[in-house]
Amino acid sequence: MTVARSRQITAVASVILLCSMASAAFLLRSMDETFPSATLQQMLYISSPKLLKRLSLGYDGLVADIYWTRTVQYFGGIHSRGGGTYKLLWPLLNIATQLDPHLIPAYEFGETFLLAKPPQGAGDPYRAIELVQYGTQNNPNNWHLYYDLAFIYYDQKDYLHASEAFLRASQLPNAHPFLKIMAAQMAQHGGDLRTARMMWSAMYETTHDKLIQANAAAHLRAIQVNEEVTALEHLVQAYRDRTGHFPETFSEMVSSGMIRGIPLDPLHHSYRLESGGRVVVSNPDDLPFLDKGLPRGYVPSAAPKLSPES
Amino acid sequence: MRAIEILGLEKIYNAGFWRRRSKRALRPLTLAVEEGEIFGFLGPNGAGKTTTLKILMGLVFPTSGSARILGMELDDPRMKGQIGFLPEQPYFYDHLTARELLRYYGQLSGVDATQLSHKVDAVLEQVRLSESANVQLRKFSKGMLQRAGIAQAILHDPKVVFLDEPMSGLDPMGRREVRNLIEDLKAKGKTVFFSTHILSDAEALCDRVAIINQGELRGVGAVAELTASVHGKVEIVWHGMSTPAGIRSMGAECHAAGDTMRVILPEENQDAALEALRREHLRVISVVPVRTSLEDYFVAQLGGPAKSEAVSARG
Amino acid sequence: MNSRILHIATNTFREAVRDRVLYNLIGFALLMSAAAVLVGQISIQIERLVVINLGLTAVSLFGIVIAIFIGIGLVSKEIDKRTLYTVLSRPVRRWEFIAGKFFGLSGTLVVNTFFMAIGVFAALAYVSHHFESSDVGILVALYFIVLQFVIITALALFFSSFSTPIFSAIFAFWLFVIGSFAQDLRNFAHMTHGLAHWLATGAAYLVPNFSALNVISQVAHGEPVPHRLILLNTAYVLVYSLAVLSGAVLIFERRNLK
């Protein structure tokens, strides 16, 4: 083979090879963007965990991991597009944990996002309990799972069971000391705001998952807003008592010396006043989980972001 | 223009897992073959004959050196259209018939579609496979496969034909047929380059031969020239069952046949041998000069008695 | 040049057919018949679902096996039989040989799939006695399956150009398995950092994406396949196969055929 011709063919083939691979990569990305759920149907092609277990031919762990990564991607995908009802969350978590009962992160994730109401989560507390109880059965020495269970009971306002769960957790090896404190707090002051703050701070501190952390932070902000709105509305009432009418804006209250400056919410946006002495937040979409401070007639249009830009 | 021109062709293989062991399959080889010649490429197995042929066919790339066929480069498609190649021990496509095989090869060689059938029939006739034209190749005997191989090599009327061990696996009838075919090719003005380790075939057919051993060229020339350079031999037959001491000491092998003994000795030992026989009063029956064969030249070149697997004088 | 590729392709096709590769259709036909009859008798209200799922999965698996089994021998067999030597001593370029082999095997698989498609539709007609407009989706699924074959053929041919049949089969098979999980590989790549991230991302792009070509359950549920996906997949397979074949040519051009 002459050197020249051989080099020619090598050059042409190499160029074609590189261009083709580049095009292939580009096309794959295109497909991704257009069809993020292109393989959604494939995810639950086989939806029975038992069948899947048999088909895994002993590679349960690997298959469990695959389903766990699919769960995270599934959740993340819907979450970034504004949230939804996460219909497949339970089946995916069920499969993953059935294949690998020691997949601890799955239980925590499930507890948080099966519990949360749409559009933040699936809003299915019973499944959440079922999942975490299955977890505690299979991992009896893991205090974190009992902690997760307590959280669910707390959310459902079943303070007795929540306290019991905390107690169980505190008795396990390596249990965090705060668990005993939580058990006591829950037993006596289940419905208190202080308890709520303790719960969510603990969650924020102890979780490794960024999404769960953001969720906890959002809850803490909501608690703060609730407190601030309550306090502000008291002040507004006092203003009314003094002047005989509700203030239109906070500037009025500032000039009358009742408050020092325009009050700001945890996201540094100013609170506003509605008629009738109602204090509301400016951007309710950025502050999920609020009980107070929501404008009249407010309906969440899309899922409020858990981690707002500001 | 020379049919084949080889200049310093060399092939070194790097063997072993780390590619450190190098094996010299071919030392720099320089050779030329004229048009219209029948040229024999001789040597024991593993000498480098097939390597050389594969380099010429563009199947293996030389480490250094160059070659031209009909004045053209080895990868020139025009040149490839004018050569034919028969590889060693071909099996071909199991499920094709002989006719389909030849049609396929004809198409690949660029034979005109209108002439294809005609040429295929003609060449089948030439190699005497017409009756088996529509039989699948997996049912062919070795000899038939060999003939089919020759058919595909000459189908497109090439100027130079390369044959790697064309007589391999053939019975004496088959070998004679192939010999006739090669002579036919020469009669048509084609150049034939074939490799073999059967020396008698080369002796009978070739205008010139080259002898190669362990990758190195050991001699090139017309058969007559080469054999002339070897000292003659003589065959002595005498009556009796014993071998005189004088003859035994020459180290030659004596054969018994009935009540006579026979020995082949170098010419120069003839007188001493006859003297030894006379002293022992053994009756000499005949003293006949033996024509030196290519084998003698071969053995002389390669040194020492031929290894059993390497050379066979009569096939 | 083109006619040589065509002749090599035709010859490859003929070899495959005469090597009784199409006999696999008998096995397939038996399978489909048994399934159809069984399902028809039990009447579990998801007859269509089962027939389509089973049928298309069988078409896919049978074809992959054939593609691998024949593909791995495409080059090595020609060397063993010495036919490659007689072909390359003719005015045939090495890359033309590779191209011809590729088209020959791909063509064989297309023909094979065509007959299997008839089998699937026949079984479907038997169990449900009618066709629905969404059944056009089955044709799309079959087309995607053929695209899968094209990639596997290219890969098997690629490995065959330098490796022994056993290793070629192993490599091709594993690439098929990993490629079926390509989407998960990319998920994994998103979730990791550092070296693992780069390795996983590289692997995810290198490996053939079979997960996007599998729309069997979608079609079984009567859901339509977006046109854009059809276009993108076609382009992807064309381009990916081209890359693999270029690789095969690169290797084969410089190979010493001992």
| Domain annotation covers residue A129 | yes
| Domain annotation covers residue A303 | no
| Domain annotation covers residue A186 | yes
- Name the nearest CA neighbour of A225 among A182, A275, A192, A263: A263
Among C3, C80, C89, the residue to mutate for chain B (most B Cβ within 10 A): C89
Q: Which residues constitute the domain of residue C151?
A: 2-253
Q: What is the pLDDT of residues B20-43, one digit of tens each?
A: 778 888 889 899 999 999 999 998
Phi-psi region of A277 (alpha: psi -120 to 50; beta: other; left: phi over 0): left
Which one is predicted more confidently, C6 or A303? Answer: C6
| Domain annotation covers residue A275 | yes
Could you tell me the strand order of the sheet in which B4-15 lies?
A: B21-33, B4-15, B64-69
**Do residues A88 and A140 both lie within one domain?**
yes
Segments of chain C scoring below 50 in pLDDT:
none
A39 vs C225: CA distance, rounded Å: 12
pLDDT at B311: 35
For A172, residues 6+ apart whose C-beta sits below 8 A from its C-beta are A141, A142, A143, A146
**Do residues A183 and A61 both lie within one domain?**
yes
Count structural domains, chain C. Answer: 1
Residues A28, A30, A33, A39: is their CA dihedral positive or negative? Answer: negative
- CA-CA distances (angstroms) from residue B88 to B13, B41, B85, B128, C99? 21, 14, 10, 20, 26
pLDDT at B314: 38
Q: What is the CATH number of the domain that holds A174?
A: 1.25.40.10
- Residue A2 predicted with pLDDT over 70: no
Give B217-259 as a 3 state SS string: EEEEEEHHHHHHCCCCEEEEEEECCCCCHHHHCCCCCEEEECC
Answer for the pair B108, C8: CB distance below 8 angstroms, yes or no: yes
The structure tokens 């959280």 sit at: A151
Nearest residue of B to residue A6 by CA position? Answer: B75
- CA-CA distances (angstroms) from residue B127 to A306, B181, B212, B288, C179? 86, 8, 30, 41, 52
**Do residues A277 and A184 both lie within one domain?**
no
**Do residues A53 and A174 both lie within one domain?**
yes
Main-chain dihedrals φ then ψ at residue A129, nearest 5 degrees: -60, -45
Are the Cβ atoms of C90 and B90 closer than 8 angstroms? no
Is B12 an 8 Å CB contact of chain C? Answer: no
CA A302 to chain centre: 15
**Do residues A279 and A150 both lie within one domain?**
no
Shortest alpha-carbon distance between residue C242 and chain A (Å): 6
Helix A89-99 vs helix A60-80: angle between axes, to the nearest 10 degrees?
160
**Do residues A103 and A155 both lie within one domain?**
yes
Q: Which residues, listed in sequence order, are joined to residue A67 by a DSSP beta bridge?
A: none
* Tokens standing for residue A216: 């906890």
Q: What percent of chain A has pLDDT over 90?
A: 8
**Do residues A45 and A184 both lie within one domain?**
yes
pLDDT at C45: 63
Phi-psi region of C45 (alpha: psi -120 to 50; beta: other; left: phi over 0): left
Shortest alpha-carbon distance between residue B198 and chain C (Å): 22
* 3-state secondary structure at position B210: strand
Nearest residue of A to residue B62 by CA position? Answer: A1
**Do residues A188 and A245 both lie within one domain?**
no
Is C80 an 8 Å CB contact of chain B? Answer: yes
A69 vs A86: CA distance, rounded Å: 15
Are the Cβ atoms of B90 and C83 closer than 8 angstroms? yes
pLDDT at C236: 95
Q: To which H or E segment does residue B212 belong?
A: strand B208-213
Give A 30-49 residues with CB within 8 A of chain C.
30-32, 34-35, 38-39, 41-42, 45
pLDDT at A57: 67
Is C23 an 8 Å CB contact of chain B? Answer: no
Answer for the pair A207, A108: CB distance below 8 angstroms, yes or no: yes
**Do residues A62 and A197 both lie within one domain?**
yes
| Domain annotation covers residue C226 | yes
**Do residues A57 and A194 both lie within one domain?**
yes
Answer for the pair A20, C239: CB distance below 8 angstroms, yes or no: yes
pLDDT at C40: 67
Give A187-219 as a 3 state SS string: HHHCCCHHHHHHHHHHHHHHCCCHHHHHHHHHH
Residues B100, B102, B106, B112: is their CA dihedral positive or negative? Answer: negative
The band of A45, judged by pLDDT with boundaries at 50, 70 and 90, is: low
* Tokens standing for residue B203: 């002796």
Are the Cβ atoms of A27 and C235 closer than 8 angstroms? yes
Q: To which H or E segment does residue C136 belong?
A: helix C136-160
Model confidence pTM above 0.80:
no
Answer for the pair C236, C154: CB distance below 8 angstroms, yes or no: no
Each residue of C109-134: b (16+ CB within 10 Å) or e? bebbbeebbebbbebbebbbeeeeee
As a whole number of Å, the end-to-end CA separation of chain B is 35
Are the Cβ atoms of A69 and C211 closer than 8 angstroms? no
Residues C228, C242, A18, C176: is their CA dihedral positive or negative? Answer: positive
Count structural domains, chain A. Answer: 2
The dihedral formed by the CA atoms of A139, A145, A147 and A153, expressed in degrees to the nearest 10: -110
Nearest residue of A to residue C245 by CA position? Answer: A17
**Do residues A56 and A192 both lie within one domain?**
yes
**Do residues A84 and A182 both lie within one domain?**
yes
* 3-state secondary structure at position B59: coil
The structure tokens 């979780």 sit at: A207
User: Could you tell me the domains of chain B?
Assistant: 4-82+158-228 (3.40.50.300), 233-291 (3.30.70.3400)
Other Cβ atoms within 10 Å of C230 Cβ, number:
15
Answer for the pair A149, A166: CB distance below 8 angstroms, yes or no: no
| Domain annotation covers residue C258 | no
Maximum average pLDDT range among A39-48, A283-292, B269-278, C166-175: C166-175
Among C178, C184, C253, the residue to mutate for chain A (most A Cβ within 10 A): C184
Q: Which residues constitute the domain of residue A142?
A: 41-214
| Domain annotation covers residue C186 | yes
Q: What is the pLDDT of residues A161-219, one digit of tens each?
A: 888 898 888 888 888 888 888 887 787 777 777 888 888 888 888 887 888 888 889 88
Q: Report strand pairing: B38-42 vs B208-213.
A: parallel
- Residue A301 predicted with pLDDT over 70: no
pLDDT at C100: 95
- CA-CA distances (angstroms) from residue A181 to A148, A187, A202, B129? 16, 10, 11, 100
**Chain C residues in contact with B90 (beta carbon < 8 A):** 81-83, 85-86
Shortest alpha-carbon distance between residue B94 and chain A (Å): 30
- Residue A102 predicted with pLDDT over 90: no
Q: What is the pLDDT of residues C174-203, one digit of tens each?
A: 999 899 888 888 888 877 888 888 888 888
Shortest alpha-carbon distance between residue C91 and chain B (Å): 5
Segments of chain B scoring below 70 in pLDDT:
229-231, 303-315
